[in-house]
Every structure is written in C-alpha cells, then in structure tokens.
Structure 1
Amino acid sequence: MRESRDKTRRRFLAAAGAASTTALAGCTSILGGDGSSSDDRPTLADFRGSGEIVSDRPAPGGTSIEDLPDLEGELSIYLGGGEGGRYTTLIDLLNQYYDDFEASAQTQPSSQLANVIVDEHESGTTQADVFWSVDAGSLAYVADNDATRDLSSDATSMVADDRFVTDQWAGVAGRSRAVPYNTNQFSASEIPTSVDGIATDDQFTGSLGWAPTYGAFHGFVTAMRQLRGDDGTREWLNNMLDQSPARYDSEYATVSQGITNGEVGLGLTNHYYPILVFASNPDAPLDLAFTENDAGALVNTAGASVLDGAGDPDLAELFVRHLLSAEAQEFLATRGFAFPMIEGVEPVGPLPTIDELSPPDIDLQSLSDVQPTIELLEDVGILS
C-alpha cells in the first residue's frame, strides 16, 4: 500500500483503447531464434493472449518452463471454478508440452470441491493429487482440515508476495474487487473511494447492479465481516437494499449486460470482468475504479495445493511450480487478466500493479469462514 498514492481517480480502460495492435514483442522463452518453435511443443505465443490490450508486451521474466524439471506421469486435479475454461486450456497446453505427462481435471465450484476433499481425507479415499481453487478461502478450508501437504520452498519462494502464499498453498492468479461503471452515466471523479459511499449516496439509487448469489460476492462480504463485524456488515447490506440494486446471475453479466448496456450505472465485481468485456468491445462505455482500504478493495487469489494422499506428491508439487512459471503466469495475465504472482510478469496494460492498490489488511485464510456470511445474507433477505 503506497501512502503517496495519487488520489485523483483515473480512467484505466481509456488508456488501453489507445494501444495499437502489433506483433508480440520479445517472445524468447520456449522459442527458437526466428520466433518459431524449436519442436512441436507450445510456444510463448500459444500461452499468451492476443489483441490490442496485450500488445507490445515484453518477454516475461521469472522461471521458464524450460528451467523446471519435466512433468512425467499422470495427475488428477480437482479444479474449483475454471474461469470460463481458461484453466483447463492451460492444463491442455502443459499436456501438449510434455509427451509423457497427462493431467485430467474434475471441475466443480471451489466450495463444493473443498467439502469433497475434506470428506475424502477423513475417510482415507482421496481421489485427486492437486486442488486448484479460484479462491483462497477454499484453499484455507482444506488446509485447516489437514487435507493438504506442506509445499517445499522451491514452490513457495516463487510467489513474490507473502500475502498470497502459505506452507500449504501457493497463489497463482490474483484478483481485486473493483467498481466498474458506465462512462455515459458517471465520471471517474463521481465514483466513491469506499463501498459505504456506494451504499448511501442518493445518486446511485436505482443505478446499481450486483450478483449476490455469486461466490466472489460472498468472499467480499466475508471480508467485510472480518473487518467490521456482523452488525456493521448487516448495516451495509441493508443500505444497499435501500438503493434498489438490480440483480444479475453473475458478476460478468453485471458488467456485460447491465453496465455496458446502460441498464445500471455501476456495480461491484472482480476487476477482470470489465477487462474481459472491454477486450472484446473496446468501444463500450465502460471503465473501472478501485476503492481503498475496505472490503471493496480486497485482493484475493486463485491458488493450488498438494493434497494429502496424492499418488505422486512430487509430481503434484512440480505441477504447482509450473503454474508459477513465466509462461503460465503470462497465460493467466493475458488471457484471464489476473494479477501475476511472480516477479517479472506485469498485469495487462491498463491495470495497476497490486502494489498500487490499497487493499485492507486481512488474512486471506479468514475467507474460509463463508457459512456465517450465507446465513447473514439469508437473514437480511438477499438470499432466500
């Protein structure tokens, strides 16, 4: 958190719209000198996304796949979420890169898989080697129930920020809460720097959109409970209800349908949903802002752990290290617009770095305490 942070609200996506489409720059990792693959394996160009928003990027730093031991054998992954199929695409690329490696994934919501893992651990019937979850809360829940193995320093030292790694799991793709807004309805200076302003300012009455059944929203409310207690969180939720927010099935729909189409003026989502919409529609009247030092500025992470009972724990940990390779981090940054977890890989052009954000001081392990959040949302009348 930078105390000297410029308080002037800036437009992030406007800067991206001015970018030009050029050839990928500096693609040296896993490439031959002429920019072509030295064999039939995927190249950096296969890992990296495309389009204006990711043009002119330098070659990623960090540990290349070439510098890691080969993945060999079969691996079973419990994949919590999947981010619209992007995570399975990354798994497929690793399968293609190594002739003697085959990873398969079973995909369900992270919270459901976390319960499955704990049940299997307690009965001695663990069915997977790796748990790759879209949120730290599910990783923490599994670790708290002794269903994971310690990671070695070879894996944990790859993560640049201690907030996003423990002995039991390593963050692989960061995300921040954000406030996307319609630029035809609001200017950057009108967006509050706190979620309290959004919940109480009359100018937002009837102009808000949210997805209160969505898992990311539950993590946000859980963070608020940790910061201000149940009573303070209840007050905020009731204030939001007084604003008559429109409900959407997902936070992506909040942005793509609600804000972009002008149905609502702003919403509360993960930061990458506005980027995903903007990447496919640069003319959309869309931008995003970030609150400061509250639950609305929460920075969470997807991450991975090695399950206790894994058939080949060494292979499982090596897979986690591959998720933190330069190529995999470039994939997650340029295809899913996540915040990279390693040094040497930058977020996509319009995004600030994590260091430029002002997240609250909160232990991500505490986000595993989701059930009281569900009960509170039900009690207030937001969930039935």
Structure 2
Amino acid sequence: MSRDRDATDRRTFLAGSAALGAAGLAGCTGLIGGDDGEEESTVFGQIGSGRADRPEPEGTKIEDLPDLEGELHVYSGRGEFLVGTLLDDLEEYYEDFTIEPRYGNSSELVNQIAEEGDGTPADVFYTVDAAALGALADEGRSRELSDDVLEMVREEFRTDYWIGTSGRARTIPYNTDALSEDDMPDDIQAYTDFDGDLGWAPSYGSCQGFVTAMRLLEGEETTREWLEGITESGITAYNDEFAVCQAIADGEIDAGFTNHYYIQRVLDGSPDAPIATSFTEGDAGAVFDVAGAAVTDAADDPELAENFVRHLLSAQAQEYFATETFEYPLIPDVEPVGELPTIDELDVPDLDLSRLSELEPTIDLMREVGIDT
C-alpha cells in the first residue's frame, strides 16, 4: 500500500469513509443476538459457544495468548453497542489490564490521530471498514504489524499496516417461497435480466460501496449499463438493507442486494422466515469488507497493542463476532452463523478494500442514471 498519496486525496478519501462507515455502524444496530432468557456469559471466560447449537470454537484460545498488562487507549470507530461487551470482558479477564476507549466516527478519529501527531494517546485504531484503516496508513500513522500477527488471516484481508478482525460479505438474499437456489445467477451482471422483483437501498453506504466496487472492478461504462438495466427492471428502493431483507421475507419482493448479516438478523428474529442467501462469484456482488485494527505509530507499548489485536483474533472473540454481531469470523477455525459458506469458501474479487471509500464518483454516476441517493 502506498504511503505517499497526497493530502488532498487523503481528505477526499476520509470524507467518503465517513458516509460508508457511519452507515455500516447504523446498519448494525440491533444485531446483538443470543437466546432470550439465557444467563449471559463473559466472552473470554465462557466454555463453548454462547449458542446451544454451536460447538466450542476452534482456533487460538485466549489461554494460549500473551497476557495483557497495562493501560491501552483504543480509538474505536466501532460502536460501543457492538464491541463494548467484548472490551469490558477482556478487562475483566486480565486483572492488571485497562482499556480506555474513545468511540466515534471512523474518519473523524483518523483525522484526530493525524492532528494529534506524536502526542496522540491512541495506541490502537479499531474500526468498521478497511477504508478508514487504509486512510490511517496513508497518513503514515500506522506501525507495521509483526508477521505472526499478519499470518492469522488471509492476505486479502490485511496489509502490512492493518489487519481485518471480522467481515461482511455482499450477498443476494432471496425468498424461498418464490425462488430456488438454482434460480439465482452467480454473475452480478445477470441481474439486469433477472426474472423476479428486486430490491436495494441505493442511499445506504453499504450499497454505494458495492456499486463502487463494481466501478473499480468493471469500469464506469459497464457499471453505468448495469445501473441503467437494474433501474429499468423496476427495482424497489428501501431506506436500508435490513428493510430489503424484511421485504423479501414478507414476500413483497423476490430478491435483493445486501450484506449477509441482515439476512441472519431476520432469521434470528423469525427462524422460519422464507429467506435464504446466495452469492455471486469473483465480482462486485461478492465483495467482502472487513472491520479491523491498526497499531498507531505513537503507541506507548507497541507489543501490548499487538497482543490486544491478537486477542481480537482469538477463538473466543471470533465466536463473539459470529454469534453476537452475525459477522464473518476471519479465522478458518470458527464458522459463521447460518447456512453460509466458510470464509475460505467465498469467491471474493481481487480488490484493494481501502478503495471502497472512493464514493464521490459512484454517487455522481448513480445520480446521472437517475437514482435517488
């Protein structure tokens, strides 16, 4: 990854990241799962999974990781409602370890770290998408991570300066009363001629990130033609991607374009809902973005900061992401919730994830086609 992008490009990049990251966080509201009435167990102290139908998670256990000791300042672009329990339980597990979190908008936190310079208290930047992680690296404010940390996840979900800790896959949810798996194309371009009623959320950051991926992978003209074809098909617009999935489950539409965890959110509330997940292969419809972490160049104790990142990739933390936020774990030893392919079975396109924040040309293109963003 280049660390020499000029300052103007970096600020444009960060502005786009604000919209994408904020929507990603907003869209996760209400995703915290678990079975009602069950006694809550701590993330790192629990035995087995928090869900009765899941085995004990595999992978590196917290017991096999270096102890955490000292004070760590974490600037978090992930909402407290999503990761607060995880951080609190980590503090509880280690008697002499304290986390001082600062929650906020991802891009604003990047700008804050940059403006604070060498005096920033931030040791770790933990955030919702690769765009903000890439922006921090482009500012020159991330440390290179150790090889043994980087090797914990697949290379497409990391760079030398940041690492993914959980992920979300683009999917095509569909109504199982109206369609079968065989009816679902594995090529995103085929959906301009789809035999069924489609829905999407074009004003939503995740959807705009998906169109951005198509523009980067296929070029502007192909993306324009796809957008024109989709709108001419009469696709229905919704305010967010959970609403798209609920409309599919309710039979209002037949299929749509969303992140995978909205489907799991519907099923968590209504296990018998007629909704299932399909995937395209190797194109923009199969983009996989990550939440992740970086160690800042000003970290007081870089070793402690790296060990904290290792804990985010522990078996227990990965199980938490799978069962509580319905995200994809990034280690192959922990499976996602639902009838989904594993992380190693996904056919994701070759794309620099940090470029998904390049939203301005995408929004301009969508508006030119007549799409209300």
Both structures adopt the same fold (TM-score exceeding 0.5): yes
CA contact (8 A) 1:141 1:368 kept: no
Q: Shift in Å at residue 41 of structure 1? A: 9.0
Residue of structure 2 in register with 1:133 after alignment:
127
State the percentage of identical aligned residues. 48
Cα distance in 1 between the residues matched to 2:219 and 2:180: 32
2:229 to 230, 233, 239: 239
Give the CA deviation at 1:296. Answer: 0.2
* AA aligned opposite 1:242: E
Residues 269-306 of structure 1 deviation map (CA, whole Å, 9 limit, x = unaligned) = 11121112212211111111111121001122211111
User: How far apart are residue 323 of structure 1 and its match?
Assistant: 0.2
Cα 1:156–1:211 shift into 2, 3 Å: same
CA gap of 1:376–1:311, structure 2 versus 1, over 3 A, is: farther
Q: Does 1:170 align with 2:166?
A: no
Cα root mean square deviation, aligned = 2.6
Letter paired with 1:232: T
Aligned with 1:351: secondary structure?
coil
1:164 shift after superposition:
1.2
CA distance in 2, matches of 1:110, 1:218: 17
> What does 1:287-366 align with in structure 2 at a 5 Å threshold?
287-348=276-337, 350-366=339-355
Partner of 2:144, secondary structure, is coil
The structural deviation recorded for 1:64 is 1.4
Task: Give 1:69's aligned residue.
Answer: 66
Offset at residue 169 of structure 1 (A): 0.6
Give 1:157's match in structure 2, choosing from 151, 155, 164: 151
Aligned-residue offset at 1:94: 1.0
The structural deviation recorded for 1:383 is 4.5
Deviation at 1:95, TM superposition (A): 1.9
Corresponding residue of 2:363: 374
Deviations 1:52-110 (A, max 9, x none): xxx142x323221112222223323222243x823222112212212222224333443
Q: Tell me how far apart the structure 2 counterparts of residues 216 and 367 of structure 1 sit (CA, whole Å).
A: 9
- Following the alignment from structure 1 to structure 2, what is the Cα–Cα distance between the partners of residues 292 and 56? 28
In 2, Cα distance between the equivalents of 1:62 and 1:312?
Answer: 26
Q: Measured at CA, do residues 135 and 317 of structure 1 come closer, stay the same or move farther in structure 2, by a change above 3 Å?
A: same
What is the rounded CA distance, in whole Å, between the counterparts of 2:136 and 2:112 in structure 1?
Answer: 10
Q: Confirm or deny that 1:222 pairs with 2:223.
A: no
TM-superposed deviation, 1:111:
4.0
2:45 is the alignment partner of 1:43: yes
Corresponding residue number in structure 1 for 2:10: none
Query: Per-residue deviation at 1:317?
Result: 1.7
- Other structure's SS at 2:219 match: helix
TM-score, normalised with respect to structure 1 = 0.79
2:80 is the alignment partner of 1:78: no
Distance in 2 (CA, whole Å) between partners of 1:264 and 1:104 is: 45
- 8 A Cα contact 2:177 2:274, kept in partner: yes
Relative to structure 2, which stretch is displaced further, 326-335 or 68-77? 68-77
Q: Which amino acid in structure 1 is aligned with residue 236 of structure 2?
A: A
1:44 counterpart SS class:
coil
Contact 1:63-1:325 at 8 Å conserved across structures: yes
Q: Does 1:94 align with 2:84?
A: no
1:42 and 1:248 map into 2 onto residues whose CA distance is: 38
Change (3 A) 1:294 1:349: same
2:221 and 2:105 map into 1 onto residues whose CA distance is 29
Q: TM-score, normalization: structure 2?
A: 0.81
Q: Which residue of 2 aligns with 1:33?
A: none
The residue identity in structure 1 corresponding to 2:207 is F
In the aligned structure 2, how far is the partner of 1:248 from the partner of 1:79?
A: 29
1:151-189 per-position Cα deviation (integer Å, ceiling 9, x unaligned): 112321222x11112110111112211011112222222
SS, match of residue 145 in structure 2: coil
One-letter amino acid of the structure 1 residue matched with residue 328 of structure 2: F
CA distance in 2, matches of 1:49, 1:376: 44
Change (3 A) 1:351 1:41: closer
Alignment of 1:190-201 (within 5 A): 190-201=183-194
Residue aligning to 1:31: none
Structure 1 residues 10-49: aligned runs within 5 Å: 42-45=44-47, 48-49=49-50
> Residue type matched to 2:59 in 1?
G
- 1:234/1:117 CA distance change after superposition, 3 Å: farther
Letter in 2 for 1:71: L
Q: Is the contact between residue 41 and residue 97 of structure 1 (CA under 8 Å) also seen in structure 2?
A: no
Q: Give the SS at the match of 2:168.
A: strand
Question: Number of residues paired by the alignment?
Answer: 334
Indicate how the Cα distance of structure 1 residues 245 and 152 shifts in structure 2: closer, same or farther if over 3 A, else same.
same
Q: 1:357 to 1:42 in 2, by over 3 A?
A: closer
